Amino acid sequence: MQELTHYLGGAHVNGTSGRFADVFNPATGEVQAKVPLASSEEIDKAVEIAATAQPAWGATNPQRRARVLMKFVDLLNRDMDKLAEALSREHGKTLPDAKGDVQRGLEVVEYCIGAPQMLKGEFTDSAGPGIDMYSMRQPLGVCAGITPFNFPAMIPMWMFAPAIACGNAFILKPSERDPSVPLMLAELMEEAGLPKGILQVVNGDKAAVDAILHHPVIQSIGFVGSTPIAEYIYGTGCANGKRVQCFGGAKNHMIVMPDADMDQAADALIGAGYGAAGERCMAISVAVPVGDETADRLIDKLVPRIEKLKVGPYTAGDDVDYGPVVTAAAKANIERLVQSGVDQGAKLVVDGRGFSLQGYEDGFFVGPHLFDHVTPEMDIYKKEIFGPVLSTVRAQTYEDALSLAMDHEYGNGTAIFTRDGDAARDFANRINIGMVGINVPIPVPLAYHTFGGWKKSAFGDLNQHGPDAFKFYTRTKTITSRWPSGIKEGGEFNFKAMD
């Protein structure tokens, strides 16, 4: 049985709390490792190391900091297969999905190589008589990130890459469900030339989170997870004077207009609804066809595609469309919500209940489900299922469909499939959701734009990555300077005037 560690001050360090969590192989249900759960004293130690290392790193010029990230990108590409295999082994997602996880994080690192440009301040010459005014962006100090299980490579890199590029030290508290890849990333950052103590990984549960929230030295906290926990972290962190950004749950709608290419829409829903077993905050979990005829056509296209989906372990390679969910508890929650949909009157068109895979009977596999005639009062509509379950809510008009997405408490992502430019433009302008796709089912912005939802999907006034990241991880300082003139009439320099 492997016993994992923390990563402090450039070294793997055994946990001292005496508490551990199981790390499962989701395909077999077996415990494959133990991960230590940090105490508040271990968080204190990590902060002490970070606070000692940060001033020298903050004083390092941005170009030299960017060179470390350049080398880190090379190392990520070198170890892509190794990282993806470790990620799949603990999370369960297929190897192509795992590589995509690393790749989307890598792209943010590439963007952060532009730190010298992003950190430039402003300058006004002669703002007044003999007065110049300029601003500079300076690091916060010690920052922390609390990241979820579903993207154990991407989301940590979305946080620590800009934080470190800005000159901060960073303490990462990853999910205890799949902690190996974050530890590997810390090793690669130091191989790239990052000074010891600037990036540290502390594994833990709520005790570690609370220690981070209340630690007086930690200046900022990033979080991605469920909305109830996002609200808790945001409220507690802000009350303790920290800069906080939290991203919570989602219920992403995809509106299918009568004029849409139905094959294109169906293919999009298969990938967006069932890819990665639906364990994505940007997954499409609600299809909203406009009109019963559109709904019937869409269902007819979806059913044969769903029935052909192959579910299995990542070791099966390209023969698998998606793998198991992350834990037995996650599987049980999905099955409970599916049953609630049946009990509350939705039509289960494709029934994935009772799915079992020969040789992997103890794995956390969930078959694909498709519901029709779902209504907004049902639990499967209101709650984030985070599994391979697609709900179809029939709307009679475009306005009805728009209202469904706008009235839901979550506002992470949404999409519309149509050939009508006017409808698409109206949808993009009116929808109260942070990320919008037009004939694109999962509208995750590229690294040089920002990622973030609205309503109960996000808390804080700045998004992840893109220009917002450099604002979040720095403070602006504005300097007004005036130098007494030492020049006499006629051009002779008067040194006494400078005394």
DSSP assignment of 250-307 equals --EEEEE-TTS-HHHHHHHHHHHHHGGGG--TT-EEEEEEBSHHHHHHHHHHHHHHHH
290-347 pLDDT, tens per residue? 999 999 999 999 999 999 999 999 999 888 999 999 999 999 999 999 999 999 999 9
Residues 281 and 389 both lie in one domain: yes
210-249 pLDDT, tens per residue? 999 999 999 999 999 999 999 999 999 999 999 999 999 9
Residues 338 and 352 both lie in one domain: yes
Kindly state the average pLDDT of the residues 8-31.
Answer: 97
CATH code for the domain of 152 = 3.40.605.10
Least confident window among 35-49, 138-152, 316-330? 316-330
Query: In one letter, which amino acid is 466?
Result: G
CATH code for the domain of 318 = 3.40.309.10
Residues 148 and 184 both lie in one domain: yes
Residues 111 and 239 both lie in one domain: yes
Residues 138 and 224 both lie in one domain: yes
Residue 489 covered by a domain: no
Residues 291 and 235 both lie in one domain: no
Does residue 492 have a pLDDT over 70?
Answer: no
Burial 312-330 (b: 16+ CB within 10 A, else e): bbbebeeebbbbbbbbeeb
Q: How far apart are alpha carbons 65 and 68 in whole angstroms?
A: 5
**Domain housing 142:** 2-248+466-480
Q: How far apart are alpha carbons 289 and 298 in whole angstroms?
A: 7
Kindly state the average pLDDT of the residues 373-400.
Answer: 98
Does residue 137 have a pLDDT over 50?
Answer: yes
Kindly state the average pLDDT of the residues 36-47.
Answer: 98
Residue 424 covered by a domain: yes
Q: How far apart are alpha carbons 142 and 144 in whole angstroms?
A: 7
- The predicted pLDDT at position 318 comes to 81
Compute the half-sphere exposure of residue 108: CA atoms within 13 Å on the CB side of its CA: 30
Biggest alpha carbon distance in the chain?
A: 96
Residue 460 covered by a domain: no
Cα 328 from chain centroid (whole Å): 23
157-214 pLDDT, tens per residue? 999 999 999 999 999 999 999 999 999 999 999 999 999 999 999 999 999 999 999 9
What is each CA distance from 421 to 195, 306, 415, 429, 439, in whole angstroms?
Answer: 52, 30, 14, 12, 11
CB atoms within 10 A of CB 383: 15
Residues 286 and 350 both lie in one domain: yes
Residue 23 covered by a domain: yes
Q: How confident is the model at residue 495 (pLDDT cuts 50, 70, 90)?
A: low
Residues 263 and 218 both lie in one domain: no
How many domains does one find in the chain? Answer: 2
Catalytic member of 143, 166, 246, 281: 281
Does residue 496 have a pLDDT over 60?
Answer: no
Residues 296 and 381 both lie in one domain: yes
Does residue 498 have a pLDDT over 60?
Answer: no
Residue 154 covered by a domain: yes
Does residue 486 have a pLDDT over 70?
Answer: no
Residues 310 and 233 both lie in one domain: no
Residue 386 covered by a domain: yes
Residues 417 and 474 both lie in one domain: no
Residues 236 and 280 both lie in one domain: no
Residue 486 covered by a domain: no
- The predicted pLDDT at position 129 comes to 87
pTM, two decimals, is 0.94
Residue 326 covered by a domain: yes
Query: Has 238 been annotated as catalytic?
Result: no
